[in-house]
């Protein structure tokens, strides 16, 4: 049984349809890169998994359970953790409160996320709006981990960050010990190096599926589908 399964999902906002006919699976401990140009529906896919869009057709199963009709907070409690594109740190909470406010007991605790991101330990008393962009991204990922999820959804976690911070974050993602994740990313090369499987979205549909390792070397297809400049 896969950890996550989407069957023929059609979803959008109000009457608008953004995703159409999406079917995919993520196994336990699996990792999936979601690639595609701007506006292809990548963020909408993550929002649909969380229940923030209108599901018009299809089913979503998580841990074998149909979660299609569940409210977002119920899905989060079942173990889907979402790291939003804009990070969305709570400004009225300290860094430490951001981490503990929605925490769930499990292997990920304050001590362990501080080991993963030592900078956060230094900034634990700062308010959420006093952190740099990179620190906010670390905090957003750490906050999601504190809910001890079964599946981590990351929406462009490296966007707008300095290369040295990107390296630090990518290194941290490699040390998540097989936590299942879905990574939406514009840095195609990096995304493929962090995942096992990949899909490419175009106008709300999956147009290509590949193993990440093989896809990274398939320059013609990458260039055609993602419009990529690979070094």
In angstroms, give the least distance from the CB of 97 to another protein: 5
3-state secondary structure of 131: coil
Q: Does 71 bind another protein (CB under 8 A)?
A: yes
In angstroms, give the least distance from the CB of 75 to another protein: 8
In angstroms, give the least distance from the CB of 5 to another protein: 21
Q: In terms of Cα–Cα distance, which of 95, 96, 167 is closest to 128?
A: 95
> What is the residue whose two structure tokens read 């890169």?
33
Site mask for another protein (CB under 8 A), range 72-91, x = bound:
xxx-xx---xx-x---x-xx
53 DSSP 8-state letter: S
3-state secondary structure of 180: strand
- Pair 81, 151: CB distance under 8 Å: yes
Site mask for another protein (CB under 8 A), range 31-70, x = bound:
-------------------x-x------------------
In angstroms, give the least distance from the CB of 82 to another protein: 5
Site mask for another protein (CB under 8 A), range 136-175, x = bound:
-------xx--x----------------------------
Q: Which two tokens stand for residue 12?
A: 């959008």
Q: With CB under 8 A as the rule, give the number of residues binding another protein.
A: 25
Q: Is the Cα dihedral 65, 66, 68, 73 positive or negative?
A: negative
- Pair 57, 9: CB distance under 8 Å: yes
Provide the pairing of β-strand 54-62 with 4-13: antiparallel
Q: Which two tokens stand for residue 71?
A: 């409210």
In angstroms, give the least distance from the CB of 47 to another protein: 9
Is the CB of 104 or the CB of 217 nearer to another protein?
A: 104
Phi first, then psi, for residue 51 (nearest 5°) are 95, 20
Q: Within positions 91 to 120, which residues make up the interface with another protein, using CB under 8 A?
A: 91-93, 97-98, 100-102, 104
Q: Is the Cα dihedral 217, 163, 183, 195 positive or negative?
A: positive
In angstroms, give the least distance from the CB of 228 to another protein: 30
In angstroms, give the least distance from the CB of 91 to another protein: 6
- Pair 94, 125: CB distance under 8 Å: yes
Q: Within positions 171 to 210, which residues make up the interface with another protein, using CB under 8 A?
A: none
Footprint on this chain of another protein (rule: CB under 8 A): 50, 52, 71-74, 76-77, 81-82, 84, 88, 90-93, 97-98, 100-102, 104, 143-144, 147
């Amino acid at each position: 049984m896969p950890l996550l399964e989407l069957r023929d999902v059609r979803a959008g906002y109000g009457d608008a349809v953004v995703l159409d006919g999406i079917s995919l699976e993520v196994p336990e401990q699996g990792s999936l890169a979601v690639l595609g140009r701007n506006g292809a529906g990548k963020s909408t896919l993550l929002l649909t998994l969380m229940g923030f869009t209108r599901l018009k057709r299809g089913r979503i199963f998580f841990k074998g359970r149909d979660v299609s009709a569940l409210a977002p907070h119920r899905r989060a409690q079942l173990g889907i953790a979402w790291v939003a594109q804009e990070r969305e740190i709570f400004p009225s909470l300290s860094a430490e409160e951001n981490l503990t406010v929605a925490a769930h007991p499990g292997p990920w605790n304050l001590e362990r996320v501080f080991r993963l991101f030592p900078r956060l330990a230094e900034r634990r008393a700062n308010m959420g709006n006093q952190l740099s962009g990179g620190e906010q991204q670390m905090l957003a990922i750490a906050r999601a981990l504190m809910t001890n999820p079964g599946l981590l959804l990351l929406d462009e976690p490296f966007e707008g960050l300095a290369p040295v911070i990107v390296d630090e974050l990518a290194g941290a993602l490699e040390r998540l010990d097989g936590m299942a994740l879905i990574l939406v990313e514009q840095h195609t090369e990096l995304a493929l190096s962090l995942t096992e499987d990949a899909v490419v979205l175009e106008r709300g549909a999956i147009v290509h599926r590949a193993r990440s390792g093989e896809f990274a070397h398939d320059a013609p297809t990458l260039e055609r589908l993602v419009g990529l400049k690979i070094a």
